[in-house]
Every structure is written in C-alpha cells, then in structure tokens.
Amino acid sequence: MLPEEIRTLFNRIAPVYDQLNNELSLGQHKIWKRMTVKWSGAKVGDACLDVCCGSGDIAELLFNRVGPTGRVVGVDFAVEQLAIARQRNPHITWQEGDALALPFAESTFDAVTMGYGLRNVINIPQALKELYRVLKPGAKAAVLDFNRSENAWVRALQQWYLGTLVVPAAARRGLTAEYAYIAPSVERFPTGAEQVNLARAVGFSAVTHYPIAGGTMGVLVLGK
C-alpha cells in the first residue's frame, strides 16, 4: 500500500478503532500496551513520545506515568485519529507527522513507544532510524505489534483469529478491506530475530524482542 492509502485507511476506521480493539482482544490490548509503556522505561518527569499514536491510548498511559512534571507528545499522520486522541486527553500534545521523518530534533526524548505502527510503515529501517535519532543517549523505545511467530501453531491461530473473528467483525461495520490487510501485513512483518538485527544495524546497542500473549504479539525493546 502507498503511504496515502495507509493514511486514508486509518482515517476511515478512526470512529470504530477503539471499540473494535476492545471487542476483538477482549480488552487484552490494554495489558499489552501497559507492558510496552513499562518497558520503555518512562518515569516521573520524563519527556516521552508515542509514534503512530492513533487514537492515543498508549500516549495516555505515558501521560499517567510521567505525571504533571513530565511531557507527552503523540504523533500520527491520520488527522481523524488525532481528533479522537485530542478528545481523549487535551493535555497531551497531539501532532500530525510522519514516523519516517519525525518532526523533532535529535536526542529529545527520555522514552518512546510505538504500538501497531512498525508493521504499517513502508520503510521499517527508516522508522527505527528515526526512533534512534529522537531518543536521548541511554534512553529506550518499546515497540508493540503482532509477532510473526516461527511456530506454525501460533501462526495458524493468528490467521484463524484474523480471518474468522477480526474480518467478520469489521465487515459488520462495512470495513472488510480495511481489516483484511492485517493478515498479509503480519505475513510480511519481520520476525522478532529479524527486527533485532534491523535495530542493531541502525545503531541500537541493547535490543531484545519479547514475544507476549502466547507468542501472538511481540514487544521490541530498544536501548540507545
């Protein structure tokens, strides 16, 4: 898909995005997002960034973590998603921007998160390079997404889940094509081990990929 098509897709699903996430993960995505925020190392008083923030739930978890002395920015290129994020929390800075060319100076943030964004960008090494650039030395980023497991059973379970539960639920809202893209995007996504190699190649020093949720999801933790 072209970047413009990806942006259009996420603008179109914005009104149902949160509701579908809750329904389809039985609320579990909130647990995975809390783990991601914890593994980013964000703490009271920090300046934090959530890339591909969508409707803003991870940024809000960061906001609660850093407290009134901290600062949180959420970046996304889909303005309809940002409009929902703004309603969620007007105290966070919601900024339109591209994950492949982040609108920040180098070494700006103490912690960075990204949820279900890396699989959607058209240039994964460039996105990782940008996370590296905007992090302060010694800081961490945590990147949550589907895990392309090397276990055939996990892959079969994922494909069944996406084909049997996710696409029909989206179809009931007239969004079949918008959710049918997820399965092929997971098939194309680098495995955890491949992501570790890509992250090392752009300069990250301490890199670990943690499979979670029975191996169906993964969190890539990146230390600069």
Ligand X SMILES: C[S@@+](CC[C@H](N)C(=O)[O-])C[C@H]1O[C@@H](n2cnc3c(N)ncnc32)[C@H](O)[C@@H]1O
Q: Does 42 bind ligand X (CB under 6 A)?
A: no
CA dihedral 177, 182, 185, 189 (to 10 degrees): 170
Of the two residues 99 and 199, which places its CB atom closer to ligand X in the complex?
99
Partner residues linked to 123 by β-bridges: none
CB of 89 to ligand X, least distance (A): 14
Asked if residue 117 lies in contact with residue 52, where contact means CB atoms within 8 angstroms, the answer is: yes
Choices 38-46, 111-119, 164-172, 189-197; region in contact with ligand X by CB under 6 A: 111-119
Closest Cα partner for 38 from 118, 139, 128, 142?
142
Q: Does 109 bind ligand X (CB under 6 A)?
A: no
Q: Does 10 bind ligand X (CB under 6 A)?
A: yes
Distance between alpha carbon 162 and the CA centroid of its chain, in Å? 18
Asked if residue 100 lies in contact with residue 74, where contact means CB atoms within 8 angstroms, the answer is: no
CB of 52 to ligand X, least distance (A): 3
CB of 76 to ligand X, least distance (A): 4
CB of 152 to ligand X, least distance (A): 25
Q: Does 58 bind ligand X (CB under 6 A)?
A: yes
Asked if residue 134 lies in contact with residue 113, where contact means CB atoms within 8 angstroms, the answer is: no
The site for ligand X (CB under 6 A) is made up of 3, 6-7, 10, 52-54, 57-58, 76-78, 81, 98-100, 115-117, 120-121
